[in-house]
Structure 1
Amino acid sequence: MARKKRSSSVESSSEGSAYTYDYETADAESGSGYSGGYRSNKTMMQLLKENKRAITKYTFYILFLAVLVVVVNNTRASWLTYEFNERLRERFELRAYSIDDVEVTLDEQRDAKQMYIYMRDYLLPGVYETTNGAAPNTSPKTTTNEFGTILQNLRRVGAPRIRQLRMKKDTCDIKKRFQSFVDTCVGPFEKKKQDKAPYGPGGVFTYSAAEDEKVLWIERRVYTSGGFLVTLGPDLASSVSNVTYLMENGFVDVQTRLIDFRMAWYNPYLDTVSVVTIAWEFLASGGARPFSSFHTVELNGFGADRSAAFEITFEIFLWIMTAIFIALQIYSLIRQGKKYFRSGWNWVNVVLVILLLLTIAFRVATVALVEDFEFVVSDSQYVDFSKIEFASLNVRRCLAILIVMMFFRMFEFLETNTKLNQLLRTMQESGSDLALFLIVILIVIFAFVFSAQLLFAESVEGFARFSFTLSRLFRFALGDFDYSELTRADFSLGPLFFYAFIIIVYLVLINLGLAIILSAHEKVMSSVEEQRWAGADPGPLTEAWIIVKNKFRSVAGLKPVRVVSARQKAFSEADANQDGLLSAKELNNFIKKHPDRAPDLLGIDNAKQLMERYDPRNPVAFNREEARAFFSVLDERRQLLVLHEKIVHLADALGVDQPDDVVVSTSSS
């Protein structure tokens, strides 16, 4: 950058060695003390012109991110939606019921008998409650198009439906010694081996493809669409009768692997439908395992409590800016070829493009499905919202990942400022060490994972699977552990496992990882200080801030602010006679008087570093040759700085831009 110079560079010989340094002396009217430093003589327009391409790129991305933030805010579920789902969850999942004189919740049900009792005596009465909250009316309705209402404002859409998925018999082998009294073996659910044959009295229960039905994910188990479907009646009496019939005629048997109960509730104020799924997995290990989910679908495609026009406008902005962003990436790919993929940030851009396209695709699908969705207004027919639910849920999932990556993408634009870029540089500096350390971590963690599964898998649910165990041990490392469950599972080796894991992972490895990161951060900070010592260009962001700040100070009648490097300040103070020359005597006197300022003046932290740098074989004292070499290097640095200042000054005087290829080395020879 061009600088105003109040004194020219001077060369001279003094005691020991000649030093030249061209610095800015204090303004005459400023009194004593140093006020020199970097102060841009450019206007904001000149700065914008010089950094036009970068500023255009930054501005576009910030606007893109701002539009995405608005869209995310419009897409998220409102607190009223949360209240809507929470009331349903309290009603059907969290409430305790008395089954066989035992108080249990939905999550505590463990067999088909408890499922039937809960469904008949508690679930269905909750579904068919009257508007005012009184006891359910068990008498049949005279009409079938009157929707039921619960919680004063939630209307049931259609009738509930029960679905079953079954497995074929003999889908697993029976050991020979047990074949005499075990006649059949049914394995876990598999799509290829599911049973679709009619069964029950006279084959009354028949399979229906129901391709529109959503695939059900429970943890990592996938249950396909279709199944044996039973649509319940329009009132409590007929629905209870249906469930009783299923219970008495063996609807659930040894081949059953899934029972799910689905219904939908409409909120007229929010214009949303909450799809409620309550399911029971009948695992091959025996017993039942309950599951429930509550998802909300906005039927108008936009939040009912916000301005639809406002949301549509920003949706369109997002699509336009996505098209521009994709076009820019394609242009860069064509122009750079294979070099495009050498940049990590370009790989991030590729992922962003994929996420943006998926988000728009799911968003368009949601709106299209809502617009085309039609159903008969009847509470005796099941209404399937599964496709709309699936598309709407995936819009939020894509946006959740996209918004995180878009914000992290901002770190690329902070690379021009050394202080703002500390986090990214620290991760880059520690990357190789952390990768090696990760190998050590994985070896230790896998050892404990397999050990934990052997010791606790049969007694503690969190260790029943490899993925569960890995997650549980990770939580152990963060301090979330239950010592008592380990001792109950194995009273002898449980405590030994716990203390070994805590000492090795929690106290040793985690602290080693932190030490690697802190060491890398210290190196980054040293690099920042080295650049500060050498008077590095502050970058366009800092330069713009200086211009704006000085404008305000000028209006207030204050002196302009200067960015002063530690090197400039220290050399000005060390130059006792202010003649522009720094002799060995002046250098020695300054270090004696201000030993804490040596890092600023010489670019080192202590005398030991100085000795090791110029006399590594005997870092105790300098002889004449070593001292001469040191002062020669120091003088070379000053000469280079002076030469750079002259080039900048000449370029400024001629009215041309500063050469971009001028580099001043401040490292030792």
Structure 2
Amino acid sequence: MPLQTRPAGMMAISRASSRNIMVADGGHGRSVLQNHAATVIQRFCKRARARGSIRATFERNSVRKYKRKQMIAAKVKDIIIYVCFLACFTISSIVILQEQDIFNMGHHITEQIAQKEFRKEHSHVLKTFEDVATWEEWYQWAQGPLHDTIWTGAAWEGGSENPMPGYLFADNAIVGAIRFGTLRVKKRPCTNLNFAILNDSHTAPLACYGDKNGDYSDDTESTEPYGTGERLFEWEGWDTEPGEVQAERGVWFSTYRTGHERIYPTPAFWVLLPNYDGERAREGIVQMRDNGYVDAATRAVFVDFTVYNPMLNYWTIFRFVAESPKAGGLLMSHQLTTVRLYTFFESERATWLTVEILVICFFLYFIAEQVPRIRAEGRSYLLQMSTMAHNANIVAYVLVWCFRFAAFFCLPDRDTIALDADVFYQFRMASVYKSLSLYFNSLNAFLCWFKLVRYLSYIPRFALVTGTLVKSARGVSGFGVVFCVVFYGFAAAHMMTFGARVHGYRNLTSSVYTLLKSLLGEFNLDEMTLAQWFMGPLFFVLFIALAVFVVLNVLIAIISDAYSEQSAELKNSADTEIGKEIYEYIVNSIMATPCMRRGHAVANHLDKSRKEIFTKMTSRSASGADHDRDSDSSPPPPKMSGVAKVRPEQASDDGRGAAPPSKDGFTRVPSRRAGAAGEGSQDDGAWDRELGVDHMVIEEGEDAKAA
């Protein structure tokens, strides 16, 4: 092996150590140099372990930082995509329906028919559609507000003749005929009580209609012709094709729920009146009254017609219903549905169509993203609240398009429609399907904006809300069970006590709604007191004391505790600069495109060439001056990486003179590390500086022995 020259400092220490062997080791023959070597090896091993530990920690931290960076990039990407989707969805489904004329179209017609007063010859007091209580008043309504609105100009210019037959307000065209229909039940003997009749000429025997409860049902429906005139009312209707009633009933969602919570199928015994001839319509209504269109077996009468506005391109389907319950009298209700038909989209403008297509693409992207993730993570991922909300959003949007297709394919052929035809065109089923698509889309609107909270929870200040909801979920679920038990008890008690006297408690559903409004401060204590002087105030006080003062305050306490816990967790969390991260993600994404990468590489190459040329020119200009300055000077002394402690008497033997001693009694002289000239010494020094560890110090005497 080639002979390695020891540094001068080490030689001085060795000579000094050789003269003090017995002193350093207590006379046992062990040299001080050996003690130094042992100390050096121990400290080298400690530094190596420290460097290895720091290197491992550095690698772990690097991996952790890389993963966090990737996670942030993924979240920022999701936020950007979702915000773009939300903007498109809002434009295509919400902004486009802000046209208030969609409301005005049906509202103005309904006001004329349902809120206009009866004619003076029919009633000397103020009476409207909602005030009808007998069949005689129903005929007065049909001959008054209904006839005047549809067949005269009273709704437009106040005249008795309509200058534009078949139109309402001169802009809305009535499509086809106006249809009257009814539902009848069979007569049956009464099974509860039978009383003796002393004189048949005074009182008729008791008679019951419908099922055992007196209501309408498919089994008790009467399809027999009836009437008091020469022409009987047929189940298929007057001037209609056979089988139309049954065909209409065979369509899904063909049943109708009235405003009084009763469900009926499509009516029968149709009577069609033209939309353009007011005199024929008036005669038809009179003929219905004279021939006994309604009687004791009648359970409901329906009036249907359809209006189209070409400027809005919207259709409004009207239905006015008079129900005859088993208790007697009439229950009036009406419904209108305004929708866009004969199109899949809510607008025909190119801009709106483009946005709607973008929304479809976004949902296809969400489906393609969810399917493999559900397959990979399985049930645990599928049962997460955020996943269920996202999947519900997708399912609702799919149903939107299913109902749009159903509405389109059940429409009558537009080429066969004539505005003034004496034919009733069935648009109700299409309007029902289109309305269902709008209902599911409204659910989508809620879910889409509600899911934005999930993405905003990436920012700690917004995570406070979502965290509070999550932490309070278990407590609120337990509270919900207790609340439902207490609330059901109160609803049942109120219905049993006030059901026969107060409209708001007439059944269990109405009682629940009325009590829910009471929680918000809307209640009528006087009405309850008039119904029952003792039970009314008693139930009122109990409900307010338990449901409001106790139960609701428990709910507030549960949410407050969850809020405090979540606030404490987020107190020391660093805020996220979401704007900066979005900006960096967009810039990095743009720079990662092929064209930008190519341009960036060319720019880097030019910049590197300029730097190389500048470096060469600078080194050439400085080389001459450096050579002249260094020619007369001696070589610089070697750089010392540390100091060595020696005693003053030992340092004097080195020939360099004694250095002044320090406070600890040692003289500090420059020394080199043993491996300073070896390979990798520069890296070790860098690691030592990073660790904050001084270079090794060689000690003598008792200090070395103790080490």
TM-score, normalising length: structure 2: 0.65
Name the SS of the counterpart of 1:71 in structure 2.
Answer: helix
Contact 2:185 2:209 in 1 (8 A): no
Cα separation, partners in 2 of 1:342 and 1:454, compared to 1, 3 Å:
closer
Q: Paired residue for 1:184? A: 208
Matched, 1:199 2:226: yes
| Alignment counterpart, residue 108 of structure 2, candidates 87, 90, 111 | 87
Cα separation, partners in 2 of 1:537 and 1:546, compared to 1, 3 Å:
farther
Q: Paired residue for 1:133? A: 157
Cα separation, partners in 2 of 1:378 and 1:542, compared to 1, 3 Å:
closer
Q: Paired residue for 1:292? A: 334
Q: Which has the larger radius of gyration?
A: 2
| Alignment counterpart, residue 172 of structure 2, candidates 138, 148, 154 | 154
Spell out, residue by residue over 1:282-326, the C-alpha distance to the aligned partner (whole angstroms, 9 max, x if none). Answer: 11221111111122132463899x761122112222222222212
Q: Could you tell me how far apart the structure 2 residues matched to 1:339 and 1:503 are? A: 43
Q: Could you tell me how far apart the structure 2 residues matched to 1:414 and 1:150 are? A: 50
Q: Looking at both structures, which has the greater relative contact order when contacts are Cα pairs under 8 Å and sequence separation is at least 6?
A: 1
Q: Paired residue for 1:120? A: 143
Q: Could you tell me how far apart the structure 1 residues matched to 2:494 and 2:513 are? A: 12
Q: Paired residue for 2:48? A: none
Matched, 1:218 2:258: yes
| Alignment counterpart, residue 378 of structure 2, candidates 337, 340, 348 | 337
Letter in 2 for 1:190: S
Spell out, residue by residue over 1:609-661, the C-alpha distance to the aligned partner (whole angstroms, 9 max, x if none). Answer: xxxxxxxxxxxxxxxxxxxxxxxxxxxxxxxxxxxxxxxx99xx99xxxxxxx
Q: Could you tell me how far apart the structure 1 residues matched to 2:469 and 2:69 are? A: 31
Q: Paired residue for 1:509? A: 551
Cα separation, partners in 2 of 1:221 and 1:437, compared to 1, 3 Å:
same
Q: Paired residue for 1:55? A: 76
Q: Could you tell me how far apart the structure 2 residues matched to 1:184 and 1:247 are? A: 23
Matched, 1:424 2:466: yes
Cα separation, partners in 2 of 1:334 and 1:413, compared to 1, 3 Å:
same
Name the SS of the counterpart of 2:326 in structure 1.
Answer: coil
| Alignment counterpart, residue 108 of structure 1, candidates 128, 131, 137 | 131
Contact 1:130 1:148 in 2 (8 A): no
Spell out, residue by residue over 1:196-240, the C-alpha distance to the aligned partner (whole angstroms, 9 max, x if none). Answer: 222224672111343337432214322112411110134121111
Cα separation, partners in 2 of 1:147 and 1:523, compared to 1, 3 Å:
same
Name the SS of the counterpart of 1:102 in structure 2.
Answer: coil
Name the SS of the counterpart of 1:193 in structure 2.
Answer: coil
Cα separation, partners in 2 of 1:111 and 1:179, compared to 1, 3 Å:
farther
Q: Give the alignment's Cα RMSD to 1 decimal.
A: 3.2
Name the SS of the counterpart of 1:51 in structure 2.
Answer: helix
Matched, 1:248 2:290: yes
Name the SS of the counterpart of 1:192 in structure 2.
Answer: coil
Q: Could you tell me how far apart the structure 2 residues matched to 1:225 and 1:308 are? A: 36
1:26-65 alignment runs, 5 A limit: 51-65=72-86
Q: Could you tell me how far apart the structure 1 residues matched to 2:383 and 2:340 are? A: 42
Q: What is the percent sequence identity of the aligned residues? A: 19
User: How far has the Cα of 1:51 moved from its partner?
Assistant: 3.0
| Alignment counterpart, residue 316 of structure 1, candidates 353, 357, 381 | 357
Q: Could you tell me how far apart the structure 1 residues matched to 2:319 and 2:389 are? A: 37
Matched, 1:227 2:268: yes
1:651-666 alignment runs, 5 A limit: none
1:328-477 alignment runs, 5 A limit: 328-368=369-409, 372-373=413-414, 374-477=416-519
Letter in 2 for 1:175: N
Cα separation, partners in 2 of 1:77 and 1:479, compared to 1, 3 Å:
same
Identify unmatched segments of 5+ residues in structure 1: 1-40, 549-648, 655-669
Name the SS of the counterpart of 1:257 in structure 2.
Answer: strand
Letter in 2 for 1:61: Y
Letter in 1 for 2:277: D
Indicate the larger mover: 63-72 or 175-184: 175-184
Letter in 2 for 1:348: A
User: How far has the Cα of 1:539 moved from its partner?
Assistant: 4.9
User: How far has the Cα of 1:359 moved from its partner?
Assistant: 0.8
Matched, 1:269 2:311: yes
Identify unmatched segments of 5+ residues in structure 2: 1-61, 198-204, 237-243, 586-685, 692-707
Contact 1:416 1:540 in 2 (8 A): no
1:635-654 alignment runs, 5 A limit: none
Spell out, residue by residue over 1:38-89, the C-alpha distance to the aligned partner (whole angstroms, 9 max, x if none). Answer: xxx9xxx999766333333332222222221112125526211212222112
1:525-536 alignment runs, 5 A limit: 525-529=567-571, 532=572, 536=573
